Structure 1
Amino acid sequence: MKKSIYSQLLICYLLIGVVCFFLVTAGGSYLVEKKLEHSLSESLYQEANSIASYNTVKHNISSSNLDAIKDTLMAISTFQNADIWIINNQNEIIVNTGNKNASAPPVLLENFDPTAWGGSYYQTGDFYGYFKTPRLSVIAPITSDMTTKGYIAVHYQMKNLYQQRSQILSVMHFIFFLVYALTFMLLLFYRNKVHKPIQLIIKATSEYDNGNLTYRIPVKADNELGYLANTLNYMTSIMNQNGEYQRKFISNVSHDFRSPLTSIKGYVTAMLDGTIPPELQEKYLKIIAYESERLEKLTNSLLTLNELDVKKRLLHMERFDINETIKTTANTFEGTCTDRKIRLELILSGRELFVMADLEQIQQVLYNLLDNAIKFSDDASSIVLETTEKNGKVFVSVKDKGCGIPKESLSKVWERFYKTDASRGKDRKGTGLGLAIVKEIINAHDQNINVISTEGVGTEFIFTLEKAK
């Protein structure tokens, strides 16, 4: 299994902690030690120069009685926590505050060479082999009458400096672990606010991959991940609805195709095997032609819907006269209306009324609505087609005086394959797709269509179009 981002971040966090601790311990120790050395050496060098400038020291460095000088140096030594020496020109230590024996003879310091110090005023080490433990040592010349009469040497034990360094490092370690612990809070925040929601989203994708489109991501966050979860939930709900629609669609198509195909197959088989005698074949051939027409109409409607979906509602917008289009469409139903004595009344606003729309698709809308109105109208009744304009919109109305639509069915008339009981009784050739096509086209134009109907009185469909400028 691949490592998660959280585990990778945790490993990086631990590695960074180890590296940073090493840098604080090693690098910090070195830097602190150098800083303390520099600071202490400056302080001790200033003290050494101050002692070297005392007249008492200058005038008594050659004297055999140095008790007065030693008492003063002992007080300074205690204050500085360091040993103070006076070294004469013979490289002899004539005063040593670290030696408790006041009558001790001078000690010769072999290999002592002040000139070898160069520009440095301090050194660390055993000071020419005198000390067994390292010291921080500074020297300052004692001058009188332009002559160097000796040196003041101050020695500070390095173990004391190391103790100071350890104390400072302890503080640095405490601050480091405090900051490290606080940064771990960021890791916990990431785990709770980012990693867990991502895991839930990954689980959801696995559920979707297995076909469970009803799964909902339980992420309630007011951030990008919450937005993503809500988007995925919405998307899958739409996909689930589409899946339900597809299953219903296939079921309806299968049902509407099966019935005429069964009739056609049955009658053809009966004629072939002689069950239907030749003198009755004309009757059943008319039924076959009727059912074939029904299949053709259903197929054409399905192709129209598919074309609307495939083209993603790409419209060929143009300026045309809606009044003239209504007249042309009405003329195509002249034969049907004459046979049934249905009167078409055109109440059109002005001689011309130009709109901006897809002419071919609006013709389809008018054809479907008028065909629907004629289907549900009684013989010797009238259908009114009317246009009006208001607030930059053109309103087109198709109103019949037929049987009307039941109130409970009004919200369902736009569904594909939906048929009211009245529809099934009046025209078995109806596909239940005409109004679905109308709705798709009007929605593609970003316009509205409404239906008003009363049972036993009639039905009116009203849709809007954008008026051409």
Structure 2
Amino acid sequence: MKANLFFKYLVCYLLIVISSLIILNTVGAGRIRNGIINDNIRSMKIEAETITSDYMKGYYSGNMSLFDVDNGLKTIDTFADARIMIINAVGEVVSDTRGTSFNDKNERRRLPAWLLEKDSYVGGNIKELSNKAIVAVISPIDIDFVLKGYVVLSMEVSELEKDASYSIDTLNICFLILGVVFLIALLFLYRISIIPLRAVIKAAREYARGNFDYVFATEENRHDEFRDLMDTIEYMAKELSLMEEYQRKFISNISHDFRSPLTSIKGFATAMMDGTIPPELYNKYLSTICFETDRLTKLTSGLIELNKFDSHQALLDIREFDLHSMIKQTVEAFEGKCRDKHISLNLIFEGDESLVMADKGKIEQVFYNLIDNAIKFSHNDSDINITTKSKGNKVIVSVKDYGIGIPKESLKKIWERFYKTDTSRGKDKKGSGLGLAIVKEIIQSHGEEIDVISTENAGTEFVFTISKAGV
């Protein structure tokens, strides 16, 4: 931002103020001036009509003398602040509130004929009225449909411009006061928006450098969108920090899990090549090499599977199938392992069949991983129960063993990739630590939930849901 956002605000503010003042004192001043002139013309026309009805009809009917008319017009002049003239039918001045009716030659003064033909006039000076620009109103005096003369009211434009200037000055003062108010508002806007925005930018730069412990240097009592933005960025930084830690652990784990079988394979192959291992033991060590190769294959397949879920490339083939039939087929694959450990796999189904809508291959993988884990961590001569139960539009599935269980502090970590709960006792040394991570990704990709209940030295139960078919 480099402090230029406030500068832009200030430039916009000055442009608005200056352009508004220019417009007010040009276009606005002209309209105010014209408005005052038009208002005075209307007022003078009303006064002219009043003079005609109240004075001139009485004068021409003989009921009033010219002296009485002059006195009345001078009173009106005082209140209306306008020069009043009475003109006869031939254009001669009969009465003038601010001058005489005769010129230096003792002749009656005359007004131009073209002026008497107008009803109003705004323009340059007329020597018979004033040496300055004037506003004049001409009202005919009709008595019994006979033109007897004219009533002429005039006023210098400069007098009206004083009123216009006063109005414009008042508006300028009000506008300048508003300008100060707007400037204070701009400074307040700067404080509540640009300052926290700078804090956000600084924090983002710190987080970009890897300083995820940076704390915003701003008011803690804010409760607005900037506070939400700051909280969101802080949360993002924490997540990035956790992601960075996860990546370090991920690289460490995957390096360890790849290095161990590769070391075995290379060691046995080298020993066979240089004669350290006699030919009669080749089959034994070749079996070990095949075993380690299978471990690498499973680990690679698991990583590829998880990567598909991470990049949203894992497409589900959702179709209807019988869950009970699929579970039975999966269980058959573990007969040998169960026989070796004398473990009983008990299928407790609700009904003969259970039709569900899911990706059969993916759900089969879920059962394979869960049953494999249950056998691995079960004691000899124990039971494993697989239960299905219908509830609403879901089928609730449970895989429960009575083995060593999961420590309480490990329950939240079992879904993490490469996490192994009992490496110290060697129970899961053959595993990759990816099985439960894959299980959770598959269940969540179906829009379902999976949970675990476990007590150490008592057993573990995994419970998840699958959507029924035809619902």
TM-score by length of 1: 0.81
In the aligned structure 1, how far is the partner of 2:410 from the partner of 2:260?
A: 24
After superposition, what is the alpha-carbon deviation per residue over 1:43-76, rounded to whole angstroms, capped at 9, x for unaligned?
334444554653675489xx9xx66654444434
Shift in alpha-carbon separation, 1:147–1:214, aligned structure 2, 3 A: same
Letter in 1 for 2:56: Y
- For 2:51 and 2:467, how far apart are their aligned partners in 1? 104
User: Is the 8 Å Cα contact of residues 127 and 137 (structure 1) preserved in structure 2?
Assistant: no
SS of residue paired to 1:43: helix
The answer to whether 1:54 aligns with 2:56 is yes
- The one-letter amino acid paired with 2:171 is M
Equivalent residue runs for 1:255-270 within 5 Å = 255-270=256-271
Q: Is the 8 A contact 2:83 2:97 kept in 1?
A: yes
Residue 29 of structure 1 and its aligned partner are, at CA, apart by 2.5
Report the more deviating stretch, 294-303 or 137-146: 137-146
Alpha-carbon contact 2:83-2:96 (below 8 Å) kept: yes
Task: Show the counterpart of 1:430.
Answer: 431
CA contact (8 A) 1:94 1:106 kept: no
Task: Write the distance in 1 (CA, Å) between the matches of 2:311 and 2:451.
Answer: 26
Q: 1:313 to 1:96 in 2, by over 3 A?
A: same
Q: Which residue identity lines up with residue 79 of structure 2 in the other structure?
A: F
Q: How many residues align?
A: 464
Name the structure 1 match of 2:379: 378
User: What amino acid sits opposite 1:268 in the alignment?
Assistant: A
Distance in 2 of aligned mates of 1:270 and 1:223: 70
Q: What's the % identity of the aligned pairs?
A: 43
Question: Residue in 2 aligned with 1:43?
Answer: 43
Partner SS, residue 350 of structure 2: coil
Q: Any idea what SS the aligned residue of 1:412 has?
A: coil
TM-aligned CA deviation for residue 16 of structure 1: 2.7
1:228-272 per-residue CA deviation (whole Å, 9 max, x = no partner) reads 555444444434433322221111101111222223323333443
SS state at 1:318 partner = strand
Q: Go from structure 1 to structure 2 and tell me whether the alpha carbon gap of 1:106 and 1:329 turns closer, same or farther (over 3 Å shift).
A: same
Name the residue aligned to 2:119: 120
- The two structures, once aligned, show a CA RMSD in angstroms of 3.9
Call closer, same or farther: CA 1:258–1:100 in 2, change over 3 Å.
same
Structure 2 letter corresponding to 1:333: F
- Report Cα offsets for 1:199-224 as digits up to 9, x if no partner: 44444554454445565666986666
Give the AA of the match of 1:439: K
Relative distance call for 1:416 and 1:127 in structure 2 (3 A) is: same
Structure 1 pair 252–116 and aligned structure 2 pair: CA distance change class (3 A): same
Cα 1:324/1:128, change in 2 over 3 Å: same
1:397-423 Cα deviation digits (max 9, x unpaired): 333343333333333222221123367
Q: Deviations over 1:172-201 (max 9, x none)?
A: 323433454555566456545554555444
Following TM superposition, by how much is the alpha carbon of 1:299 offset from its aligned partner in structure 2, in angstroms? 2.0
Aligned equivalents of 1:118, 1:293: Cα separation in 2: 117
The worse-fitting range, judged by mean Cα deviation, of 454-463 and 205-214 is 205-214
- Aligned partner of 1:27 in structure 2 is 27
In structure 2, the partner of 1:356 is: 357
Go from structure 1 to structure 2 and tell me whether the alpha carbon gap of 1:244 and 1:126 turns closer, same or farther (over 3 Å shift): same
Residues 324-366 of structure 1: per-residue CA shift (max 9 Å, x gap): 2221111112223333433333333332222332211111111
1:324 and 2:320 correspond: no
| Contact 2:383–2:402, Cα closer than 8 Å, also in 1 | yes
Pairwise CA distance, 1:2: 8.8
Moved more, 46-55 or 358-367: 46-55
CA 1:118–1:132: 2 relative to 1, 3 Å:
closer
Alpha-carbon shift at residue 100 of structure 1 (Å): 8.9
Q: Quick one: distance in 2 between partners of 1:80 and 1:461?
A: 101
1:301 is displaced (CA, Å) by 2.2
Q: 1:430 deviation in Å? A: 1.6
Displacement, 1:370? Answer: 1.6
Q: Distance in 1 between matches of 2:331 and 2:186?
A: 73
2:459 maps to a residue whose letter is: G
CA distance in 2, matches of 1:468, 1:196: 57
Contact 1:378 1:402 in 2 (8 A): yes
TM-score, normalised by the number of residues in structure 2: 0.81
- Tell me how far 1:161 sits from its aligned partner: 1.6
Unaligned runs of 5+ in 2: none
Secondary structure, in 3 states, of the residue corresponding to 1:459? strand
One-letter amino acid of the counterpart of residue 36, structure 2: L
- Say which SS state the counterpart of residue 426 (structure 2) adopts: helix
**C-alpha deviation, 1:427, in angstroms:** 4.4
User: What is the letter of the counterpart of residue 347 of structure 2?
Assistant: L
